[in-house]
């Protein structure tokens, strides 16, 4: 955990991971949390009245300076991003996120920030390592030679290097986690920015509520991924932030499943079987991606361990309640 009595700033606090992080910091006893996001406060997924909440545009340097005034610890979770459907069709917007990390690093250096956490992504990994569904886990070294996801992945990899060089040149204590597909309740599940677990839950629930027992799946359903539940994500992030480990590290589950298997799990929760229609021309990303957790187990004697079946059940129930109310 960070220094809980010092000023902690969570950038991207109105988003999915940021909202859960703020909730966990409060529960741990943090007394000076500043939550910052571009979205108007009424659109935040989680907002707490005992936290200093600000709607600021962190692509601009001046708003970054406002956000980090007096800060001891900074979490940079802010990004213009979404699931594969969003990042494949909005590469320019994803690249502009580089302004957020660049200006936050500049403001952090000016403010004398003691710890700076950056949330990177498995999208930094080289595409030629992810051509087969039966892929081996991606090791941290697989990010180079560089061939990341076009747009979003390049921005993340460049921002990782910015963190490295601000640490080496200016002494800013940066920590970088490469997240692998984070999911859970209190996040987006429709509108185009949702990721696969939330999208699958929404589609299965919609089929159950409507009585139209069919589902559209992007790709052939054989592409593989691993999915990390939000509680593991927050724990791993704080563990890394509080450590002396300075290199980028995987924070992701090593439980690999196909998209078809993900649908199987959601169908089991709904108690039905759906007719599957495969949209082969839809964005589907790489054929296979999984997290190699050798390094995080060696350094921290820990890895994300919440089973997909358990985390997805909580996610499914939350999305079901939102859709039922709507």
pLDDT tens digit sequence for 158-191: 999 999 999 999 999 999 999 999 999 999 999 8
> What pLDDT shows up at residue 3?
82
Per-residue pLDDT, 326? 85
Q: Does residue 1 carry a pLDDT above 80? A: no
Query: Which residues are identified as catalytic?
Result: 152
- The pLDDT tens digits of the residues spanning 188-243 come to 999 888 999 999 999 999 999 999 999 999 999 999 999 999 999 999 999 999 99
Structure confidence at residue 251 (pLDDT): 98
How big is the chain, counted in residues? 326
Per-residue pLDDT tens digits for 42-62: 999 999 999 999 999 999 999
Which percentage of the chain shows pLDDT scores above 90?
91
| Mean per-residue pLDDT of the chain | 96
Task: Quickly count: other Cβ atoms within 10 Å of residue 212's Cβ.
Answer: 11
pLDDT at site 142: 96
Task: Return the half-sphere exposure (C-beta side, CA atoms, 13 A cut-off) of residue 23.
Answer: 17
248-264 as b/e: b if 16+ CB within 10 A: bbbbbbbbbbbbbebbe
Confidence of residue 283 (pLDDT cuts 50, 70, 90): confident
What sign results for the dihedral spanned by CA atoms 97, 102, 105, 107?
negative
Question: What is residue 82's predicted lDDT score, i.e. its pLDDT?
Answer: 82
User: Of 136 and 39, which is predicted with more confidence?
Assistant: 39
pLDDT in the model for residue 85: 80
- pLDDT at position 269 is 96
User: What's this model's pTM, rounded to 2 decimal places?
Assistant: 0.95
Supply the pLDDT for residue 87: 85
What is the per-residue pLDDT across 68-121, written as a single tens digit (0 to 9) for each? 999 999 999 999 888 778 888 899 999 999 999 999 999 999 999 999 999 999
How many Cβ atoms sit within 10 Å of the Cβ of residue 53?
A: 18
Mean pLDDT over 3-8 rounds to 91
What gap in Å lies between CA 96 and CA 151, rounded to an integer? 9
């Amino acid at each position: 955990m960070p220094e809980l009595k010092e000023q902690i700033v969570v950038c991207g606090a109105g988003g999915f991971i940021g909202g859960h992080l703020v909730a966990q910091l409060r529960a741990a006893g943090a007394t000076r949390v500043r939550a910052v996001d571009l979205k108007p406060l009424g659109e935040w997924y989680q907002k707490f009245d005992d936290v200093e909440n600000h709607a600021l545009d962190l692509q601009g340097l001046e708003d970054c300076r406002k956000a980090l005034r007096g800060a001891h610890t900074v979490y940079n979770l802010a990004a213009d991003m979404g699931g594969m459907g969003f990042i494949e069709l909005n590469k320019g917007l994803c690249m502009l996120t580089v302004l957020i990390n660049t200006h936050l690093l500049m403001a952090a250096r000016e403010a004398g920030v003691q710890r700076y956490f950056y949330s990177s992504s498995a999208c930094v990994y080289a595409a030629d390592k992810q051509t087969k569904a039966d892929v081996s886990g991606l090791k941290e070294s697989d990010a180079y030679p560089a061939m990341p996801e076009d747009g979003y992945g390049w921005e993340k990899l460049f921002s990782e290097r910015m963190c490295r060089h601000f640490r080496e040149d200016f002494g800013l204590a940066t920590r970088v986690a490469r997240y692998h597909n984070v999911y859970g309740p209190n996040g987006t599940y429709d509108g185009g920015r949702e990721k696969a677990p939330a999208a699958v839950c929404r589609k299965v629930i919609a089929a159950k509520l409507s009585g139209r027992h069919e589902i559209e799946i992007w790709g052939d359903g054989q592409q593989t991924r691993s999915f990390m539940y939000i509680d593991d994500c927050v724990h791993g992030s704080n563990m890394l932030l509080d450590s002396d480990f300075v290199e980028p590290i995987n924070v992701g589950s090593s439980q690999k499943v196909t998209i078809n298997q993900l649908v199987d799990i959601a169908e089991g929760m709904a108690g039905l079987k759906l007719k599957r229609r495969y949209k082969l021309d839809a964005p589907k990303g790489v054929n296979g991606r999984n997290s190699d957790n050798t390094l995080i187990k060696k350094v921290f004697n820990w890895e994300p361990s919440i089973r997909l079946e358990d985390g997805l059940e909580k996610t499914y129930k939350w999305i079901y309640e939102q859709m039922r109310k709507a």
